[in-house]
Amino acid sequence: MNLHRMLAARAAAGRPITVGVIGAGKFGSMFLAMAARSPGLHVAGIADLAIPRARAALARVGWPAERHGAASLDAALATRTTWLTEDAAALLADPRIEVMVECTGHPAAGIRHALAAIEHGKHMVMVNVEADVLAGPLLAERARAAGVVYSMAYGDQPALVCELVDTIRAMGLPVTAAGKGTKYLPAYHASTPATVWGHYGLAEEQARLGGMNPQMFNSFLDGTKSGIEMAAIANATGLAPPEDGLAFPPCGTHDLPQLFAGAGGVVEVVSSLERDGRQVVGDLRWGVYAVFEGETDYIRRCFSEYGVHTDPSGRFAALWRPYHLIGLELGVSVASAALRREPTGAAVAWRGDVAATAKRDLKAGEVLDGEGGAMVWGKCIPATRSRAIGALPIGLAHGVRLTRTVPAGTILGYADVALDEAAEAVRIRRAMEAGRHDG
């Protein structure tokens, strides 16, 4: 509860936290909008593969051109401005950068950047949940061994759920379920980039003018992003993923205690839509929740005395937050890593995985198009099951050729594709699976 004071002290001493950002997309831009308002943070460098796109993003969030006109990192540090570069490796290697923020959304790139940050003694805030679920337990362990922080991104739903769970457990109450809300219907699992805008009620031209990426938005819709986020929460909290994937039950906030009474410690996503398409009353589409148990009569009496909403027995209650502010909140993670040496959530064991699952009948010879594409979606399952069946993680299901036919609805396995075993992301994933990262 002292982060603002600690940031102010660094600013007053003339030593703001030096930050490097990789990827100036939506999440990164939202962070940059707020970093500009914090004298305790200095974004010294932004790496993006498209510098004109990064400049446009900065202009959109209100940065004047002179603020990001530094010709080098040296100049940026000397003038408290920002250097724009295509060279992420330069930011990762420079000892004057304290915290790196990874916002690319690309699993292989995220793993590469995290390993480099750890090697060079930097804290890493991993916005890239795709990379975190692919190999987060191993990355977090390496960071701990190196004495640096590897952290989930505050403002994104996994970190906010971890905060809720940690708070409730610190109170001494057992958590029976935790997760988030989203818009979901079973048909969404078959959605493709060609059909996604109809589900959002948008015309294709509207989406194009808005700069919306159909594959990214389709990942939100088809269940993949939800699976990735729940697996990340499972890995950080020890809560269990369902054996055969998320159920997405329709549920409003006041029904959470009854739905998850006695659930035993699980992650789950609740839908803001009834199965017939009607809006759920009191839905949690943009928020997060945790359900917990009052184990004694006295605790349950306290729930009643202070107006806590419970299930009919009075034994189970819920806390929820109805919204999340994405990158606008990310500075909390940066400050926590640099000033407290503490992550805002991080994997401690491999508990959950996200397995590529066929959206349609797939034929040998086809090349998978990855997360949010037309061929597979990501199902959140226990890591023990993933290991047992040799499931292909969604993070490796892009640009790889199928070696045999896979029926619709089937979880793909490593044996179904031709992977490049020499690729860094594949090697790191294999190392995680071979190690003792499953708790």
Write down the domain spans for the chain.
3-156+331-340, 158-184+223-323, 352-434
Q: 357 forms bridges with which residues in the sheet?
A: 377, 411
Q: 3-156+331-340 and 352-434 share one CATH topology?
A: no
Backbone angles phi, psi at 30, to 5 degrees: -65, -40
User: Per-residue pLDDT for 16 more than 80?
Assistant: yes
The confidence band for 26, taking pLDDT boundaries of 50, 70 and 90, is: confident
Strand ranges, E, within 359-423: 367-369, 376-382, 398-402, 417-418
Selected residue with higher pLDDT from 414 and 205 = 414
The confidence score (pLDDT) of residue 194 equals 93
First-last CA distance in the chain? 30
Task: For 360-382, write each residue's pLDDT tens digit.
Answer: 999 999 999 999 999 999 999 99
The confidence score (pLDDT) of residue 369 equals 97
The confidence score (pLDDT) of residue 230 equals 98
The confidence score (pLDDT) of residue 76 equals 97
For domain 352-434, is the CATH number 3.90.1210.10?
Answer: yes
Strand ranges, E, within 17-156: 17-22, 41-47, 83-85, 99-102, 123-126, 150-152
Task: For 156-215, write each residue's pLDDT tens digit.
Answer: 999 999 999 999 999 999 999 999 999 999 999 999 999 999 998 888 888 877 667 899
The confidence band for 438, taking pLDDT boundaries of 50, 70 and 90, is: low
Count CB-CB contacts under 10 A for residue 422. 7
Contacts of 235 (CB under 8 A, 6+ apart): 132, 133, 136, 137, 347, 348, 349, 350, 351, 352
User: Per-residue pLDDT for 13 more than 70?
Assistant: yes
For domain 3-156+331-340, is the CATH number 3.40.50.720?
Answer: yes
Question: How large is the average pLDDT for residues 302-323?
Answer: 97
User: Per-residue pLDDT for 436 more than 60?
Assistant: no
User: Per-residue pLDDT for 437 more than 80?
Assistant: no
> For residue 178, how far is the Cα from the chain centroid?
15
Task: For 261-280, write each residue's pLDDT tens digit.
Answer: 999 999 999 999 999 999 99
Question: How large is the average pLDDT for residues 209-227?
Answer: 90
The confidence score (pLDDT) of residue 335 equals 98
- Of 325, 350, 410, 417, the residue nearest 30 (C-alpha): 325
Residues 411, 390, 354, 393: is their CA dihedral positive or negative? negative
DSSP 311-347: -TTS-EEEEEES---GGGGTHHHHHIIIII---SS--
Q: What value does the mean pLDDT of the chain take?
A: 96
Q: Is-contact 363 402, C-beta < 8 A? A: yes
Residues 327, 329, 332, 333: is their CA dihedral positive or negative? negative
Percent of the chain at pLDDT exceeding 90: 94
Question: How large is the average pLDDT for residues 303-329?
Answer: 96
Whole-prediction pTM value? 0.96
The confidence score (pLDDT) of residue 10 equals 97
